[in-house]
Amino acid sequence: MIKKFTHIAFLSSLIFSIACEKNEFIGPPIESFYGNLEILESFSNDKPVGVDFSNGDTVNFNCEFSISSDYQINIVGRTSGATFSILGSNIDLSNSYWLGNSQNIFFKQYEWCDITLSFDSYDTTLKDSVLILGVRDFSNDGLLLTSFENTNEYTIVTSSNNDEFGVNSNPNFAIHGTNYLNTLGIGNSSWFGAVRFSWNSSPITHSDINSIYFNGFFYSDLLGSAFVIKVFEDQNANGVYDAGIDEAYASKINLNANSQWNKYHISLADLIIDQSGNNVLIDGELNPQNIIRIDITNSQSGTVNGQFGYSADFFIITYNEPL
């Protein structure tokens, strides 16, 4: 009987101790994931008088929420129409910032940008704005071929089928700066002239072809328009491209004729050997450090008779990822 009583007393004390033990949770409390979203600190940025991205400035965002939430910050330029989005998940915006980069075209100097903060599963939307005093210098992101501001960076090769192939000036239209390339070809040709970049030796510093990209901005309202990127090697190291001795590689990109600027990029690894004309196959391996010439031509997607062309701006070679 005494033994039985002892067992009962032990079990009672054990149950009592468990019931009185303080609950401890690993990780954030469940109410931080479920519940009503409340804004504890208003949405703002740390550049109330404007940001100068040309000096390396950064826009940092501030806002605090009552629960951990998936959020999105959208930035839209009022003048350029350029956009940039930031995705995150947190109880605040401590890890969200903007370096002046964009997802399509470039933002403009002295333009206001509208900023919205929205949340998944909630209809709350917060708004802010920021003035761009100086734009980011994207030429530092790789090898700038040209933004058509300096005529020493390129030459223009025209065709008998050209109606226009030259540089125009309009700061309200150009992607970067004031100048841009404007082309128009008429007929059934597939070559309506080219803008050419030439060097005595390759300026490309990376050797891995899979990590090198050509980037450019193109605007077209003519259906069937296209551009061709063609690169030329100097395999015998004599400083020039010798047809029949050195190799050339090319790729044609069809343009979206939506009457607005579009950003295009192509990996040099996607170029194929060009054996047209006197071009020959040597080893079929494009060596970036042998490239001494790049042509960007006005072309068409087919071989029909018509008008084909585009405006273009800001050609740059980037490494590791597209612009």
Q: What is the CATH number of the domain that holds 231?
A: 2.60.120.260
Residue 236 within any structural domain of the chain: yes
**Do 221 and 157 sit in the same domain of this protein?**
yes
Average pLDDT over every residue of 295-319: 96
Q: What is the per-residue pLDDT for 34?
A: 52
Of 97, 113, 134, which residue constitutes the final position of a domain?
A: 134
**Do 104 and 151 sit in the same domain of this protein?**
no
**Do 96 and 155 sit in the same domain of this protein?**
no
Of 108, 134, 160, which residue constitutes the final position of a domain?
A: 134
Residue 47 CB-density burial (10 A; 0-12 exposed, 13-18 middle, 19+ buried): middle
Domain count, the chain: 2
Per-residue pLDDT band for 25 (boundaries 50, 70, 90) equals: very low
- Domain extent, residue 120, equals 30-134
**Residues making up the chain, counted from first to last:** 323
**Per-residue tokens: 72:** 């999105």
Task: Give the torsion through C-alpha atoms of 253, 257, 258, 262, to 10 deg.
Answer: 30
- The set of residues, in sequence order, having a beta carbon less than 8 Å from that of 29 and lying 6+ positions away, is none
Q: Are 106 and 83 in contact (CB under 8 A)?
A: no
**Per-residue tokens: 195:** 């803008």
Residue 17 within any structural domain of the chain: no
Quote the CA–CA distance of 202 and 55 in Å, as a whole number: 30
Average pLDDT over every residue of 35-48: 93
Place of tokens 């940039």: 84
**Do 305 and 156 sit in the same domain of this protein?**
yes
**Do 264 and 178 sit in the same domain of this protein?**
yes
**Do 145 and 98 sit in the same domain of this protein?**
no
Question: Rounded to 5 degrees, what are φ and ψ at 296?
Answer: -115, 115
3-state secondary structure of 318: strand
Q: What is the CATH number of the domain that holds 49?
A: 2.60.40
Look at residue 20 and tell me whether its pLDDT is greater than 80: no
Quote the CA–CA distance of 280 and 278 in Å, as a whole number: 6
Q: Identify how many contiguous H helices and E strands the chain contains and give both numbers.
A: 1, 19
3-state secondary structure of 6: helix
Quote the CA–CA distance of 229 and 209 in Å, as a whole number: 15
Q: Are 40 and 126 in contact (CB under 8 A)?
A: no
Residue % of the chain over a pLDDT of 90: 78
**Do 91 and 236 sit in the same domain of this protein?**
no
pTM (global) more than 0.75: yes
Tens digits of per-residue pLDDT, 183-234? Answer: 999 999 999 999 999 999 999 999 999 999 999 999 999 999 999 999 999 9
